[in-house]
Every structure is written in structure tokens, then in C-alpha cells.
Structure 1
């Protein structure tokens, strides 16, 4: 069975989604700081922390947090002029933000969920550096619900309201650097039931939930503001949580590749059992490579490092077996070695290579007692890294004998996955004692109009064609569009300006991200006052994007974009026709198209196209 022939029903595919969406609120979830993102260069200072796992109320330590803590790491945090003591974990959190709770309740109603009677904030242990406190605050706000897909309904289990993590800026030699601008932005986490049975259904469910979220008009947009986690398992496989899927386009491939990975791991398990495979003991094999010319190994030894190896009886040929595109069983072993500070590992399915000779491979096998049917893993790294890294890889090899391990994996840009950490357990959560419970009241919020309903209304009420209506409704500026139309702006002009004109300017390199609501409103006001023609709108918007500090009226005057009177229009058109008198005499009205563009250029958008067209026809007829 090839990748394209996977029978998901036969394989027993079970999948679920966790959708994380940032909310577009004025303040962060537990403080009054703004939710605007900053550039790292704007940071005014930084500070460092070391994080360690804590025990739950039952005295247990979460396995994922424990593994994370086995490597001592220093975390540096960039602070800004807006950073407060809550974000630095030097002050208790404030009460839960009311605006964020209202948006969450709107989402709950769109998903047909039941709000909880009382929402209690919990602490979720996270010691990867993404939170200064070592935990993330989260509250259950609603349960139950459902979304429809073409392959059947997908249940919604719960929705959490929680704080966003800090943004990882870069990896450092000591650990990692984070920016505090994102930390604390409110987000909702929506978890579905494991009702998904195909990659296509996974994408459709995610797309539908995304549409419902955007229907509130109060969610952030852009890369990184929404993330999809996917839980995938097959019969005889294991539940694997894949985190950080940024694009809807990746969901189908990701589910497909994860199913393929689990199936191939099960196939490898059967072969290993047939071979009576095992995992041997870790050995120091530094002496084997004393005279090596491999640059990787030589670099480690020159830094007074060590080489450790472990034999894998019966694994020969299987360590190099592909599980996903460009990822093999050996890659999985390497992921675990990297978690302990190693740059990677070598295995005999790929050696001799990388400067390691055939004689060195033979000596390596002899040193650890490996035979022809056995594989060997080895790591060359600094003292204190090489041995733990090989031991971690050996532990992963032992789980290959059992099949598919339960774990948390990260999505790669290629829609494959890589190991992150074990699945978190119940010990990860415990109550937050610094924040009072709240009592959500869904009756205080209105149910938003769905974006799909907006499309229908825009076509019926405003006369937009369906494609344009969909662009506006699903775009970021539908509120501005509705306000403009309500103030008297032609619906087609408003739609064209906010969508196609902005898109065209962006493609031309105009920094349209500088355009705010006030710029568009000012431009529309000039059009309504007959002080700017529709044709002059693109040029004025482009100028505003380049000089956002100036007002629309001011720039329109500077550019001479005010509406021309009829006399001025007639004079300009007459000059164009006079310059092209010979062409007009020869072609008559056939010269109209070419001269129309010249006339509009001469008037530089100061006249309405219909007026220019009518006057030009008159002038041509006079000379025909």
C-alpha cells in the first residue's frame, strides 16, 4: 500500500483538532498592557530566568516538564516600554479580562457550546521558556458543541480561554531568547472530539472553525495568530499530538504523513520482532576514532569531547527506513539525541560517510560487539552530552520494538513532524490561587453574523457580485466597508478600494500596512464631498501609505487630486484631441480607446471616467 493508497477506514484513523486563536482585545488577559506586537530592536532591556518543574497538588511531576528540565537552559526575555510586572512574573496577575471573556462567549454561541457556570483559572506547567512564570494560565469557559463537515459532524469537546506564550526570537548558546510583547495576549483554545476520519475532513473542520472565529470580528489576523494542533492515531498505533500547524494547506498532508509514519513504524516493529531485535549497552568508543579524518568527529575530539555508541542487534537496514518524506527511523533517534544537546548522530545504515571510513565502521562494530545483522548508533560531542544523547536515542530504539510511542511532535515546514516531548499528563495542571473565579453570562453577548451570511447579505443588499462580496466579508476590513456604505459611499467603490486596490498597491511595493482606518475614512469623505474622484483614490492611498502622518485632504491638495470642473475637463480633452488630430481624422471613433487613456492621464484622476468619456466622444465627433 503506497502513500496515495492509504485506506484510512481500514487503518482506523482517528483524529481531533485543537485550534488556538489570538483575540484582538485592547488589553492582555491578566494585565492592562496593550496586545500590539513589537520589533525586538525596540526592546529597552532584558533579563534572564532558569525554569524548573514543580509538583502538582498530589505531589506528582509532569513527565513532559521533567524531560524538559533535564537540560539546563538559560532563558533571556526582551522587555519593552509597555512591559509590566505581571509579564515579568514579579507581580500577581490581575482579574481575567472582561472583553476577552465576552469574545470567548460569542465563539461559544457560534459553536453551539454551553458556557460553564463558573470559570476557574488553572496553571499549566510549561518550562520551555515560553512563559516567565514556568506555567500558562488557562480557564475552561464552555463545553459541548459541534461543527458540520461534508463527511459528518465533528463534536467540540471544550473551549479554554488562556494567555498566549512569549515569542521565541532566537536560539542562544545558553538556551533561548524570547520577546515579551506576545506574552499574555488572550487566546481561545478549541478542542474537538476525535471524530475526524480523513485528512480532508480535518482541513474542512479547521476551516469551518476558523470562519466562525473570524465572524466575531475580534480575532487577530496574520501569520502566527492562529495555530492548529492535530491529534492523530491509527489502530495499534498511538495518540500523537502534532503542534504548531500554521497553514490550513498543511493539515491534509500532515495527517496523511503522520498516518504513514505510524503505519511504517508498526511494519518495522513486526520486522524487529521477527528478527528478535534488541538494544544493547552504551559504550565509550572514543579510541576507535583517535586518528579519524571525519570533520564532525574530529571537531568533537579536538574540543576534548567523547564518542559513545550503542549496538542495536537486528536493526540493520531498518534505521535508514523512510517513515515520512526525508525523515527516517534514524531521524527519530537523532531528534531525541538533539534534545540532550547533541548536533545529531551517526548510524551504520548510512556509514561509511561524512568522513567516517569503512575500516572505522568495522572497528566500531567490533568495539560494541555488533554483527552483520546489527546496527550501531553513535554520537560525537562534548563531555556530558555524548553519553546522555546516545542513551536517549537508545531509549527511542527500545520503543521501536513496541511500535508507536505516544508523544508530542512539532510540525515542520514540509508538513512532516519531529519529536518535541512526551505527552503531558494530569500532573501538568493545578489551580491558580491569585485569580478569582468568574461567572460567564452568555446572555450579555450577541451572536455574531457568520461571514458566510455576510456574503449573502452583501450580494442581496449592496448588489456586489459573489466573488467581491466574499473578498470583503472574509477580509480584515468588513467593519470599515459597512461603515463606509452606511455613510453614503458607493458599495462597489468601497469594496474595490478596500480589497482590489489595496492588493494592487501591495503588489507594486506600496507599504499598505501603514494605512489605518482614519486614512480610508478620510479618502471616502473626500469622495463624498466631490473633492476627489474615484479615479484619484489609488494615487491618494499610495501617497498616504508613504506618508501616513499626513492627512488625506492635505496630500490630495499637494498632489493636485482635487476634482476638476467641467470647463477644465473639456479644455484638457480638447488639447489631447488636438495633439492627435491626424489620428482622429483617419480613425474617427476608432481612436477613442487610445485617447481615453491619454485623457485620464492628462487629468491625473481629477475627473470622473464617465464625464471624460462623454466629453471625448463629443470632441471626436466634431472632427469626424
Structure 2
């Protein structure tokens, strides 16, 4: 496959977005536990669960949940000193968090949406272990909105308030380990209409939605706090939901690669149709590899496992065909095999290789009745796993005869995707009877100021230049900036500290993530009150980041960063000038720049630069 820019209009590209954003509330959506994440090593205990799908009110079982449940796994949960019975699913959920609902209504206003008259909490079946309950609670709050893009308006179909899932920590020998501190954090899900027709418009729409969310000043920031799902289809393809796009900047590449993947699969289906291709029944091919030099296959056979094979009639050369960067049709088959515990597959388009000889390939073809125009895929694993995996490969190969299967896929870091599960259906949703409905009242919810409007106001009201105003408005410290400025901190000082100073400290490997809003507020208060020179702010923040349990005044005292009086400052300057007396006599005021740096170093941030400059000039003039 080559890098091709497709005619998206001709292909009939249709795309939509689902944006998931964590809200920055004091407590979780259905309990009073905190919403801060911790290191998994801080867990105080663990417990385990096995989850199984339940039937909907109509007696149906969601196919995505059913496939997930076929993989028998134990789910282990890390609990903390704040973990409550609601999070463990040992107590009914409490009422919907009022703060989260108010923020969601603010988002609805920014997207010109109509709130529902009565909001009912629903259960969405999820049995991958990410919820201790086996379902996620979700509430429709508003509908029928719209945002603008340069390519035209994009409708916003729905706005939901949901509980965040538990955080996957690692795979274990028995299943998956999750951390419970993320479970239940309020989350808004924003779903667009399928109005997006190019990769560039998808990115622009996501950027617009992200800006509107941040305009509330009430959303969490940082890696993992916002996730984008993308729904993509082309006219001859099928709707594919791509989950977990972590970086907004990847959205256009994700859409571009999915269009290419679907276009390639459509062409493959057409070629297989011409060949009258078909998929045979899986067969045991263990005997072919009894003396193989392939480490992977020999390891499975020696452990008492099996080698299962499926003949793919008319597939020769097709299984190895690239359908996305570094991904082939065989990779798709392998994804399905891995879902059932296999390490992957081998196929004849890539063999002989990996220790498999040409003779073994010929014997394999003979064993399953495959000719030169056919391909064969094999799975070597524990016998039950090998049988389940090869059946999944055969099913996926049959889908290739039809074209593009509808499915849910996961986003990879390189802009490609991998198979996760079938698309969910309506059977996964049913009412939550433990939480009473609420009646959203948007009348008392103020409409937030847009970030674009904040940039203009910061320039006009505070005199910030456009660049600094933009950094503050779009930065993670915007709410803190407005708070400290309202409390009397100079706007320029607050802005440069929160953006420039913190960035410089981060580059110097100072753990700035340890700094809290209280640290900043106390630091600014000391500077404005004359207890800390502005030049001492970086040193104080650095000290607080290293030992965040201390207050700003305690850290300043220990580091000797208190503000020096004028007499103390002049004394330090006189000492520097006398130490450099010959240079002063020779160069006069031209010695100022060199001595200024030395004076500031001697005072170690205990005096403002303006005062040091004034007194140094006076001392030089006395001796010039």
C-alpha cells in the first residue's frame, strides 16, 4: 500500500466524533470519594471479581459483551484508604453529583444544546473489568446542538454525563489488574452527528469541542483526562468505531488511515470475488510440525498444545497485502487470534520463515488441501486456545470476502488501529433503578466565557501581550490565574510565573506536578506582601516541588528566601562593589551589567531586581 490522499467526497467518507472529558469536581459522580489519581503502589488492599453479561429488559444479550465474556479472566482491583462500598459495588450508588451536573449544563450552553426535561441514569453493559459492576452508568443531559467549522457546521447529537472507568494497570497471569481511584470520576461524553467529511474537518471539530470544554475552567487536564473516539465509514465500507484516541493531534491521521484501510479491504473483497475465494474448515496440523525448528511452534507442541490450520482458498498473496502502514490483512487475522489468548498467527504469504522450512510449508498445504493459489493460516498454542483462535481467524477471513466488517477498533500510537470487539447494540443499555431521575435546570447556570474571549479580555484588562494571554487562557492554570488575580496578585506576575517559570522549572527536571494551587496562592501572597522578592519565586517553587508537604512560608524560611530590607540589600551590594573596586574605577557605569548579576547571585532572590539596580547604580556613581 502506498501513501495516497483519497478523494474523500468520491469515496463517501462519513465521520463522527465522541469526545470523553473528565470533569474537575471535588467528588465522584455517585459517591463522596476524591477524584485525584494516585500511584498504584499506594493501594492498601485488593479484591477480585469475575464478570458476566446480563440480559436487557427484552431478554437480549449484547454481542460485544458476549464476545468479551468468552475470554475467561479474573479482574483484580487495587483499593485505597478512600475506596468506598459504592466503588466496590457493595452499596447502591448515591444521587447524581450536583457539581458535575451544573458543569455539564454549562457545556450544553456552549454548544447551543437543549437540556432534557428529566434525566434518567442508564446502565451500559461493560464486562471488560473496567467497572466493578459490569456496567457503566450514563445519563443523557442534552441534545440537538451545533458547532462551527471552516467546512460547515457539525451537529452535536447528544451530551451525556457518565462515570469514568477504572484505570487499567497491567495484564496479569490470570487476567487484568485495575486501579479504583479513577472509577467514578464524572465524565462528559459529547457525540457529534455524522457531518464530518474530511480528516481535516474531524481535527478542527475536535479542537473546537476541546476549546469549549476548557472554557468552563472545570475540566481536568493532562494525559488520559480526555479521549476521543472516531466513527468512520466510506460508501462501500462499513461503520467502524475507533476507541481511545489519546492525542487530539492524531485524529486526522486516524481518519486518513481508516479510510485507506477500508478502501483496501473493499479492493481485496473485489479481488477475492473474482478468484471465487472461500474459507475452509479448520484442521489439526500438529503432525506437520512434530520435528520443526520453529521455536514458537515447537514450544507449543512440546507443551502438549496443538497447531491448528485453516485453508484460505484463493487467498494466496492477499493475506500479506498491506492495508494500513505496517499492517496487513494477516495482522487483522492475528488480532482476532490474540483475543482468544494466542500469541498470533503464521500464514503462507510470509512462510518459509521463523524457523519454518519450505518443506513444512509444502506439507502443510498438502495436509489441508491447499493449492498454489491458496493460503493457509496457522495458530500454535495450548489446544483449547488454538481451536478458539483458529475459529476466530476463519470467521475474520470470511468477513474479508464481504469487504469491511462493522467493529470496534482501538487506536494505536502510530495512527493505525487494531480490532477490539464487535460493535455494541441497543441491548447493552437498560435503566439504573438505584438512582432517582433529576430535572436539569439551566436557568441558573451562567454561560462560560470562551477561551477566545478570555484572550482578548486578558490583553485589554491586564495589559498582557497576545502570546502570554493565549498561553494563560489555554493553559492548565487558567482557573488558578483568575483566582489569584482576583485576590490581588499582579496579572503579569501571575501569568509569567504560571506559564514561563513553571515551564523552565519542568525543563530543569523539577517535579512541578507536585505543586498545588495552595503552593502558588501562598507564594503569590508572600510576593505581594513584601515577604518574598519576585526573583525568589522560582527558587521557592522549586523547593516546594521537592518537599510539597511544607507551606510556602516554611519552605522560604528553610531556604533563606525571605525578602531582605533595603539596608541588607545595600550592604550586600557594597560588598560586591568593593570586591570589584578596580573594575569600577576603570569602567565606571560600564561595569554595571557584570556586577548586577553578581549582586543578584549574592542576594539569592531575596531582593527585587529594580531595588538592586537602583542601589547598585548609586554605589558605582559614588566611586566613578
Question: Which residues of 2 match residues 286-297 of structure 1 at below 5 A?
Answer: 286-297=286-297
Measure how far apart 1:592 and its partner are: 2.0
Match of 1:257 in 2: 257
Give the Cα separation in 1 of the matches to 2:83 and 2:557.
41
Corresponding residue of 1:246: 246
Residue in 2 that maps onto 1:228: 228
**Cα distance in 2, alignment partners of residues 61 and 561 from structure 1:** 65
Distance apart, 1:374 and its partner CA? 0.6
Distance 1:206 1:242 in 2: 14
Change in Cα spacing, 1:563 to 1:31, as seen in structure 2 (3 Å) is closer
Which residue of 2 is the match for residue 134 of structure 1?
A: 134
For 1:69 and 1:480, the matched residues in 2 are separated by: 45
Question: Match of 1:145, SS?
Answer: strand
Q: Which shifted more, 344-353 or 62-71?
A: 62-71
Deviation of the 1:305 alpha carbon: 0.2
- Which residue of structure 1 lines up, in the alignment, with residue 154 of structure 2? 154
SS in 1 for 2:571: helix
Aligned in 2, Cα 1:606/1:71: closer, same or farther, shift over 3 Å? closer
Give the match for residue 112 of structure 2: 112
Report what 1:280 is aligned to: 280
CA distance in 1, matches of 2:216, 2:223: 19
Q: Which moved more, 1:609-618 or 1:205-214?
A: 609-618
Q: Which residue of 2 aligns with 1:593?
A: 593
Q: Please give the secondary structure, in 2, of the residue aligned with 1:259.
A: helix
Structure 2 match to 1:58: 58
Classify 1:558/1:389 alpha carbon distance in 2 versus 1 (closer, same or farther; 3 Å). closer
Instruction: Report the CA distance between 1:209 and its aligned residue.
Output: 0.7
User: What is the alpha-carbon distance in structure 2 between the residues aligned to residue 10 and residue 623 of structure 1?
Assistant: 82
- Deviation, 1:372, is 0.6
Encode CA deviations 1:4-36: one digit per residue, 9 max, x unaligned: 422211211110000011111122111222212
CA 1:38–1:558: 2 relative to 1, 3 Å? closer
> Root-mean-square deviation (CA), in Å?
1.4
Could you tell me how far 1:376 is from its partner in structure 2? Answer: 0.3
TM-score by length of 1: 0.98
Gap runs ≥5 in structure 1: none
- Alpha-carbon deviations, 1:172-221, whole Å to 9, x = none? 12211111111111111100001111111111111111111111121111
Aligned to 2:79: 79
Q: How far apart, CA to CA, are the structure 2 residues paired with 1:106 and 1:363? A: 67
1:565 corresponding residue in structure 2: 565
Deviates more, 1:569-578 or 1:11-20: 569-578
What do residues 549-573 of structure 1 show as CA deviations (whole Å, max 9, x unaligned)?
3222233233332332333323322
Q: Distance in 2 between matches of 1:409 and 1:275?
A: 29
Give me the whole-angstrom Cα distance separating, in 2, the residues matched to 1:129 and 1:228.
21
Question: In the alignment, what sits opposite 1:44?
Answer: 44
Paired position in structure 2 for 1:196 = 196
* Structure 2 equivalent of residue 13 of structure 1: 13
Structure 1 position 486, deviation (Å): 2.6
Counterpart CA distance in 2 for 1:470 and 1:78 is 40
**Can you list the C-alpha shifts for 1:239-294, whole angstroms capped at 9, x where unaligned?**
00000000011111111110110011111111111111111111111100111111
* TM-score for the superposition, normalised by structure 2: 0.98
Match of 1:546 in 2: 546
User: Is 1:378 equivalent to 2:378 in the alignment?
Assistant: yes
Q: 1:483 to 1:96 in 2, by over 3 A?
A: closer
Quote the residue 1:518 is aligned against: 518
Question: Aligned partners of 2:433, 2:564: CA distance in 1, in Å?
Answer: 68
Matched ranges for 1:316-395 at <5 A: 316-395=316-395
- Tell me, yes or no, if structure 1 residue 23 matches structure 2 residue 23: yes
- CA offset at residue 2 of structure 1? 4.7
Which range moved further: 232-241 or 78-87?
78-87
- Pick which of 281-290 and 490-499 moved more: 490-499
Distance 2:321 2:601 in 1: 65
| Cα distance in structure 2, aligned partners of 1:482 and 1:128 | 41
Count of residues in Structure 1 that have an aligned counterpart in Structure 2: 624
Q: Mind listing any 5+ residue stretches in structure 2 that lack a counterpart?
A: none
Please tell me whether residue 556 in structure 1 is matched to residue 587 in structure 2.
no
What is the Cα deviation at residue 411 of structure 1? 0.2
After superposing the two structures, state which structure 1 stretch, 427-436 or 514-523, moved more: 514-523
Write the distance in 1 (CA, Å) between the matches of 2:232 and 2:144.
Answer: 21
| Secondary structure in structure 2 of the residue aligned to 1:132 | coil
Q: Deviations over 1:421-459 (max 9, x none)?
A: 000011111111121111111112111111111111100
Indicate whether 1:69 and 2:69 are aligned: yes
The verdict on how the C-alpha distance between 1:327 and 1:567 changes in structure 2, with shifts beyond 3 A counting, is same
Alignment of structure 1 residues 162-201 onto 2, 5 Å = 162-201=162-201
1:423 aligns with: 423
1:378-432 deviation per Cα after TM superposition (whole angstroms, max 9, x unaligned): 0011011111111110110111111000000000111100000000011111111
Structure 2 CA distance for aligned equivalents of residues 350 and 388 of structure 1:
22
